[in-house]
Amino acid sequence: MDTSATARERRHVFTFAEYVLIAERSPTRLEFWDGVIFDMAGGSPRHSAICANIIGVLRAQLRGGPCRAYDANLKVRSTVVNRATYADATVVCGPLEIDPADKTGQTVLNPSVLIEVHSPTTVSDDTGPKLDCYRTIASVRMIVLVAQDERRIKLHERHPDGRWSETAHTGGVVELAAVGCSLPVDEVYEDLPE
């Protein structure tokens, strides 16, 4: 008898509403993907420093405009693939569109830019399934993937015709034209712990 198949058959498939209730009571951040709940591990000091640098740059440039930068505590959801996750940084333009399925009011449906800082342990999800998930969110104009262990930023941009393009940057400035700001690569990787 295949015990792994038996275990899979017995695994509970959570609804999004069940996930919201569990996540609200959890001492750790939890993500949701089509019936499965995942515990999110914390990031390294280097990861945290890069995220702080990005939020600082975005906040300064977006101040007073229609868009706002949020840190990794803002939950975003793709209803198309039924995944709720926390990007390392999120930019939302205009009023937040709160997911009506989240009775706690903590999940948004309308991010404009999503930024992920990936490490060797998260790169396969960040550049694969999570990237694909983010592309299904109609409001998303740009997805920025920032390497933690080397100076490399990949910008995925949705064009008006729906086509996506990708550009890689190891220096200079990454233009986030969709929200009227930019990420200088030197500032993203500035003053990092070893």
Instruction: Select from 84, 55, 87, 51 the least CA-distant residue to 68.
Output: 55
Lowest mean pLDDT among 1-5, 20-24, 171-175, 186-190: 1-5
C-alpha–C-alpha distance, residues 102 and 130, integer Å: 20
Instruction: Select from 161, 105, 106, 164 the least CA-distant residue to 131.
Output: 164
Dump pLDDT digits (tens) for 30-65. 889 988 988 877 678 999 999 999 999 999 999 999
* Side-chain half-sphere exposure of 191, counting CA atoms within 13 A: 6
C-alpha–C-alpha distance, residues 76 and 78, integer Å: 7
pTM above 0.75, yes or no: yes
3-state secondary structure of 118: strand
Instruction: Select from 62, 117, 65 the least CA-distant residue to 86.
Output: 117
* Residue at token pair 């003053």: 191
DSSP 134-193: HHT-TT--EEEEEESSSS-EEEEEE-TTS-EEEEEESSSEEEEGGGTEEEEHHHHTTT--
* Backbone torsion region of residue 81, taken as left when φ is above 0, otherwise alpha when ψ lies between -120 and 50, otherwise beta: alpha
What pLDDT does 9 receive?
A: 55
Domain boundaries of the chain, sorted by first residue = 43-188
If you average pLDDT over every residue of the chain, what do you get? 92
Dump pLDDT digits (tens) for 127-170. 999 999 999 999 999 999 999 999 999 999 999 999 999 999 99
Instruction: Indicate the CATH number for domain 43-188.
Output: 3.90.1570.10
DSSP 54-103: HHHHHHHHHTTSSEEEE-TT-EEEETTTTEEEE-SEEEEESS--B-TT-T
Beta-carbon contacts of residue 14 (< 8 Å; ≥ 6 apart): 22, 32, 35, 36, 37
Region 89-116 average pLDDT? 97
Share of the chain above pLDDT 70, in %: 94
